[in-house]
């Protein structure tokens, strides 16, 4: 189509100077009209002077802002700041709700049954609330949102996924989901990418209105930028946000979106950091899960192949996880009882599943063997700690302070290997089950933590082996299991989502640049294993299950799709314009079709395509024509005007027709 579009523009450019002049005149008149509207609308309102003064000031501010940089840059900055503010507000509310639950649970110490009820009913009610609220306000708000964003970014128009009601439902629902805590074990980043695109789409509409334009030129760019902002303001990690935005595109990333992405992501990350600093959580701007690995010898060069083996392990683990996930998606869609329950009683289903999960994680039963008392943030920071658990658990004399040692929960049962293994075994099916809940929830962070647990188990084992003098001399630094946990987290989450940005995210989340090379290596190896054999990724499976029109996902399960001939998708030919078409034909075509671009052919008989013309240009053409007709009608004071073309009668112009046309045009402007 490119070529044809160029030919079209070439034809247009032949009358270039005239067009530019016309365009300028039109712009000026529109600007004048808008100023008029700003100062003179609704004369019955009070304080006319002060209102007009305020409006004049606003217009002047807008001019000054516009001269500094384009209006869209303000939109990008606002997008970053707004999303970061939403993210911070959510973190604040979730932390308060989680603390309330912990306080209630600790107050009931000694009453086993009451503690059980408190442990289970709190998340049950929250997830039921989340489900019913989001489903009743906007059913599209359930799930992660990343598959939908991918589909929208690939060019498919899905307006109901970007509405403001969806934004509201998803935001409130997500707070409830996250407040249910590590029992439900769901994350935040996926829905935040979705929330960010909704904010972006709304800001884009606002920006379009502010600039007084009719077409939304920057919508595509805004959504790409919003994807970067979502990740950046969720974790305060701008660069991995941009990489995520590159990866989430279906085939090509436009370089013109590159700077806006960085700009908005930096605004978002900076705002997020500053807000959490001002709220007293951090003394200065630092990484969300700041670690303190040893700088002088972070890892031995011999450990590099070991990191690659960890990557292989994580890749294999991701295949198992993805298989289970695909199986449960299929099971839910084929099991008759579940279909019935999920179609009518979604909240009940959520409550039942969460009750099951909460019962299993109850700290006085099986929960004590899987560190279920820790929140999601505590889980991650305990897994990433650089000190070795096993050496600590052997020193029985040292009394473990829960505040100083975040990992004390892991070794309270005696053997951290068993705890980690049990955690991995249980969380696998619990996580797969939690993914079926029909509420707004992210699936990245749980997977990231699961990978960290795999890496931790691997690293602890390796540290134990090396401490017992198998291959490293004991005078030097011990092996750091936290590094393995970090590499495992990046590799596993990268393999599950078939992306590489988790490697950079792991670095930005912890500020641990020393481990860049092994983390990247493990992620690459895990990805290679996970992508082999054209298996769909986590998001691909969701896209297919939700029947979203996302071509790359569909191609993975149905490779024959790429050989479908174009003839099978050709729609019926709409109305076309002849090159020699006059105003009447143009009006007729405009009435019969609603496309924004109308094809132009040489003659109606030959149907040879010359190019296409914009609907708005045709309307301007008609407007000028009608101005002529208007002038003639006014001068002649006639009631009607017969119009001929080359002598042949082609139509009649009457005053009512003229009025209707002008009203239409005014509506459009």
In the region spanning residues 255 to 294, those forming contacts with a second copy, defined by CB under 8 A, are: 255-256, 258-259, 262-263, 266, 269-270, 273-274, 277, 283-287, 292
Does 199 interact with a second copy (rule: CB under 8 A)? Answer: no
Binding a second copy (rule: CB under 8 A), the pick from 158, 254, 593, 652 is 254
Q: What is the DSSP letter of 536?
A: -
Task: Say what the alpha-carbon torsion angle 293, 298, 304, 309 is, to the nearest 10 degrees.
Answer: -20
Which residue has 């059980």 as its token pair?
116
Q: Give least dist CB 618 to a second copy, A.
A: 21
Q: Which is nearer to a second copy, 99 or 256 (CB)?
A: 256
Q: Give least dist CB 85 to a second copy, A.
A: 17
Please report, for residues 43, 300, 395, 469, 471, the alpha-carbon distance to residue 476 in angstroms, rounded to integers and kept in the order given: 83, 10, 20, 12, 12
Q: Choose the stretch contacting a second copy; rule: CB under 8 A; options: 7-15, 219-227, 427-435, 536-544.
A: 7-15
Q: Strand pairing partners for 614?
A: 597
Q: Which is nearer to a second copy, 4 or 112 (CB)?
A: 4
Binding a second copy (rule: CB under 8 A), the pick from 36, 58, 89, 297 is 297
Q: What is the DSSP letter of 612?
A: E
Q: Which is nearer to a second copy, 126 or 248 (CB)?
A: 248
Structural element, H or E, at residue 663: helix 655-668
Q: Strand pairing partners for 601?
A: 578, 609
Number of residues that bind a second copy (CB under 8 A): 73
Residues 249, 153: contact at Cβ < 8 Å?
yes
Site for a second copy in 206-245 (CB under 8 A): 238-239, 243
Does 10 interact with a second copy (rule: CB under 8 A)? Answer: yes
Structure tokens at 360: 């299993």
Q: Give least dist CB 513 to a second copy, A.
A: 4
Q: Which is nearer to a second copy, 207 or 503 (CB)?
A: 503
Does 551 interact with a second copy (rule: CB under 8 A)? Answer: no
User: In three state form, how does the secondary structure of 467-498 look?
Assistant: HCCCCCCCCCCCCCHHHHHHHHHHHHHHHHHC
Which residue has 């089950």 as its token pair?
433
Binding a second copy (rule: CB under 8 A), the pick from 74, 202, 300, 355 is 300
Does 534 interact with a second copy (rule: CB under 8 A)? Answer: no
Closest CA to 500 of 510, 508, 490, 509: 490
Q: Which is nearer to a second copy, 322 or 503 (CB)?
A: 503
Closest CA to 385 of 482, 464, 450, 507: 482
Q: Choose the stretch contacting a second copy; rule: CB under 8 A; options: 55-63, 133-141, 298-306, 651-659.
A: 298-306
Q: Choose the stretch contacting a second copy; rule: CB under 8 A; options: 2-10, 92-100, 215-223, 375-383.
A: 2-10
Q: Which is nearer to a second copy, 27 or 602 (CB)?
A: 602
Residues 483, 459: contact at Cβ < 8 Å?
yes
**Under DSSP, is residue 439 helix (H, G, I), strand (E, B) or coil?**
coil
Site for a second copy in 67-86 (CB under 8 A): 69
Q: Which is nearer to a second copy, 291 or 350 (CB)?
A: 291
Site for a second copy in 564-603 (CB under 8 A): 564-567
Closest CA to 186 of 451, 485, 444, 505: 444
Does 88 interact with a second copy (rule: CB under 8 A)? Answer: no
Does 654 interact with a second copy (rule: CB under 8 A)? Answer: no
Does 386 interact with a second copy (rule: CB under 8 A)? Answer: no
Tell me the C-alpha distance between 406 and 300, whole Å: 26
Please report, for residues 79, 149, 260, the alpha-carbon distance to residue 193 in angstroms, rounded to integers and kept in the order given: 12, 8, 16
Binding a second copy (rule: CB under 8 A), the pick from 141, 218, 527, 612 is 527
Contact map string, positions 496 to 525, toward a second copy, x by CB under 8 A: ----x--xx--xx--xxxx-xx--xx--x-
End-to-end CA distance of the chain: 29
């Amino acid at each position: 189509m490119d070529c044809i579009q160029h030919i079209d523009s070439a034809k247009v450019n032949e009358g270039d100077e005239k067009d530019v002049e016309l365009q300028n005149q039109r712009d000026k008149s529109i600007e004048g009209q808008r100023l008029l509207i700003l100062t003179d609308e609704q004369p019955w309102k009070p304080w006319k002077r002060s209102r007009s003064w305020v409006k004049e000031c606003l217009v002047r501010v807008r001019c000054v802002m516009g001269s500094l940089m384009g209006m869209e840059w303000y939109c990008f900055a606002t997008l970053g700041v707004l999303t970061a503010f939403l993210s911070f507000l959510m973190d604040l509310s979730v932390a308060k709700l989680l603390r309330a639950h912990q306080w209630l649970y600790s107050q009931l110490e000694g009453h086993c049954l009451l503690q059980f009820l408190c442990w289970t009913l709190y998340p049950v009610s929250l997830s039921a609330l989340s489900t019913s609220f989001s489903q009743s306000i906007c059913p599209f708000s359930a799930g992660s949102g990343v598959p939908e964003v991918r589909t929208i970014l690939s060019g498919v128009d899905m307006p109901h996924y970007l509405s403001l009601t969806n934004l509201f439902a998803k935001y409130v629902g997500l707070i409830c989901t996250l407040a249910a805590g590590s029992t439900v074990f769901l994350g935040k980043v996926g829905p935040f990418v979705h929330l960010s695109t909704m904010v972006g789409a709304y800001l884009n509409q606002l920006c379009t209105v502010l600039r007084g334009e009719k077409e939304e030129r920057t919508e595509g760019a805004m959504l790409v930028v919003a994807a970067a902002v979502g990740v950046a303001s969720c974790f305060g990690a701008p660069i991995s946000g941009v990489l995520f935005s590159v990866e989430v595109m279906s085939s090509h990333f436009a370089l013109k979106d590159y700077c806006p992405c960085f700009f908005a992501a930096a605004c978002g990350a900076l705002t997020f950091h500053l807000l959490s600093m001002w709220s007293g959580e951090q003394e200065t701007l630092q990484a969300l899960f700041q670690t303190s690995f040893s700088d002088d010898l972070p890892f031995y060069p011999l450990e590099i192949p070991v990191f690659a083996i960890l990557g292989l392990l994580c890749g294999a683990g991701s295949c198992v996880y993805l298989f289970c996930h695909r199986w449960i998606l299929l099971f839910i869609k084929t099991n008759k009882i579940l279909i019935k329950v999920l179609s009518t009683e979604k909240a009940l289903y959520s409550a039942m599943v969460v009750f099951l999960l909460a019962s299993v994680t109850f700290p006085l039963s099986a929960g004590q063997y899987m560190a279920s008392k820790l929140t999601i943030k505590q889980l991650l920071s305990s897994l990433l700690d650089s000190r070795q658990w096993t050496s600590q658990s052997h020193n029985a004399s040292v009394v473990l302070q829960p505040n100083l040692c975040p990992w004390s929960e892991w070794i309270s049962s005696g053997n951290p290997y068993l705890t980690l293994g049990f955690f991995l075994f249980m969380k696998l099916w619990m996580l797969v089950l939690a993914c079926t809940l029909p509420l707004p929830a992210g699936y990245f962070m749980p997977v990231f933590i699961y990978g960290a647990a795999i890496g931790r188990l691997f690293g602890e084992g390796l540290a134990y082996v090396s401490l017992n003098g198998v291959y490293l001399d004991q005078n030097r630094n011990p092996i750091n299991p936290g590094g393995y946990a970090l590499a495992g987290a990046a590799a596993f989450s990268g393999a599950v989502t078939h992306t590489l940005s988790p490697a950079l995210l792991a670095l930005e989340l912890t500020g641990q640049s020393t481990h860049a090379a092994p983390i990247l290596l493990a992620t690459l190896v895990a990805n290679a294993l996970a992508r082999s054999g054209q298996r769909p990724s986590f998001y691909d499976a969701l896209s297919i299950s939700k029947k979203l029109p996302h071509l790359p996902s569909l191609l993975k399960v149905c490779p024959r799709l790429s050989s479908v001939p174009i003839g099978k998708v050709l729609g019926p030919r709409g109305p076309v314009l002849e090159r020699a078409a006059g105003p009447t034909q143009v009006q007729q075509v405009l009435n019969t079709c609603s496309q924004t671009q109308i094809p132009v052919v040489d003659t109606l008989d030959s149907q040879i395509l010359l190019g296409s013309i914009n609907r708005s240009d045709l309307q301007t053409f008609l407007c000028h024509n009608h101005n002529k007709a208007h002038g003639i009608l006014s001068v002649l004071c006639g009631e009607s005007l017969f119009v001929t073309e080359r002598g042949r009668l082609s139509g009649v112009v009457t005053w009512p027709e003229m009025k209707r046309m002008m009203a239409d045009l005014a509506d459009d402007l």
